[in-house]
Amino acid sequence: MEFNKSLFIDPKIQYPDLKSNLEFEDYILKSQNIIKSYRKDLTNDLADTIIKANTPFELKPSGQNTKSQAALLIHGLLDSPLHLSDIGKLLQNKGLLVRSMLLNGHGTIPGALLNTKYTNWLESAKYGVESLAKEVNKIFLVGLSTGGAISLHPEILKHPKIAGIILFAPAIKIKSKLAAVSFYYKYLPWSNWESAWIHPSPDETIDYAKYRSMPLNAVYQVYKLTKDLDKRQPGCPIFAALSEDDKTICANSALNYFHNHTNPESKMILYSTKPKKYKDIRIEARQSHYDDLRIKNFSHTCIQLSPENTHYGAHGDYKFASHIDTEKNIVYGEFDRVDIMKNQKMREHKLTNLEYQRLSYNPDFKYMSQSILDFIDRC
């Protein structure tokens, strides 16, 4: 498969001015127009679906709710607003006003991340918080991976209306060994367009809701973001859910961060393949190994996604969604590219008939959802 090099060049997008008095409806419209202008895959029957998956959204509570509470959803690196849409619906049904952001560099083509700064992401989060603060008394930050680190940044936490933080696989520390030096590729004498990428993928558009290619700049920006986190703990309660087997973020660092956070109303769900008990009663270990479903463990990307998700769920339209009921020769878990490539070679040499795929949704979503609702009631 040949590379479409146009996907890996910075399109130099002019993003909305978030320091103005921009109404959130206008922010959504401007973001959608950017998506329509820069994506390369809007020529098929899925065009409307693709645009919707990547567009920031607002979910208003039904009934007679006074909109006293709200949630701001902040997605992770390479992701889209769709990745937190299931949580958004959960919180809307709880009676919260829900808004999601689209971080700079996302929702279009991966080349848009070549020169994006983490400070741009912080500006988006600040705008989201301030837009909600005009309408509600209490705000919950909901962050996925990099969005979790943004939610814990002192520039975001200082707003007085933040009542709680909900984190999924939070990037307190990332595992990439390249992170600290990833910026210096620009100074290599043999530097070219490919040297700016960890893995430019020729099948980039196979997932319309997530980039499959990782620019080194993006890794470096997440690294800088995590180094910029304040050692002081937020005063409000934290809910966190993550996998012990996560290969993207350091689960132990997230666990240590939570241990040092003393708010008694906080809660952590740690998905583990082994039964565990913690002295800290706020931490609950949940099983992540399901023999009957051929699930080895939980992936970095699955925690916040429902089995009902139309893209990543049990009947999702994504090519590599975990179709557990129909694909009987597949093992699901936290498998990275190297694991999958090794498994492919083994299958080619008839050493195994089992295929590895990354688990795309959380089979424990219902239990976790109730824990989140209970957490909101305590805040």
Which of 75, 78, 66 shows the shortest CA–CA distance to 106? 78
- Alpha-carbon distances, residue 3 vs 193, 199, 202, 239, 341 (angstroms): 12, 12, 5, 41, 19
Whether 351 shows a pLDDT value over 80: the answer reads yes
pLDDT per residue as tens digits for the range 284-336: 999 999 999 999 999 999 999 999 999 999 999 999 999 998 878 999 999 99
Is 1.20.1260.10 the CATH number for 5-236? no
Split at pLDDT 50, 70, 90, the class of 113 is very high
DSSP string, 46-71: THHHHHHHHS--EEPPPTT----EEE
Give pLDDT tens digits for 285-299: 999 999 999 999 999
Which carries the bigger pLDDT value, residue 44 or residue 225? Answer: 225
> What is the pTM (predicted TM-score) of this model?
0.96
Task: Give the model's confidence band at 183: pLDDT under 50 very low, under 70 low, under 90 confident, else very high.
Answer: confident
- Judged by DSSP in three states, 249 sits in strand
The helix (H) or strand (E) run that includes residue 291 is none
pLDDT for the residue numbered 179: 75
CA angle 249, 253, 257 (to 5 degrees): 125
Q: Are strands 97-100 and 58-59 parallel, antiparallel or unpaired?
A: antiparallel
Per-domain residue ranges for the chain? 5-236
User: Cβ neighbours of residue 171 under 8 Å, at least 6 residues apart?
Assistant: 76, 77, 145, 146, 148, 149, 222, 225, 226, 248, 249
- Rounded Cα distance, 222 and 217, in Å: 9
Query: Which pair of structure tokens corresponds to residue 299?
Result: 């992936």
Give the span between the Cα atoms of 326 and 300, in whole angstroms.
23
**Can you give the length of the chain in residues?**
379
Task: Identify the DSSP state of 181.
Answer: G
The pLDDT value given to residue 219: 94
For 201-221, write each residue's pLDDT tens digit.
889 999 999 999 999 999 999
Which pLDDT tens digit goes with each residue over 217-252?
999 999 999 998 877 788 899 999 999 999 999 999
- For 253-280, what is each residue's pLDDT tens digit? 999 999 999 999 999 999 999 999 999 9
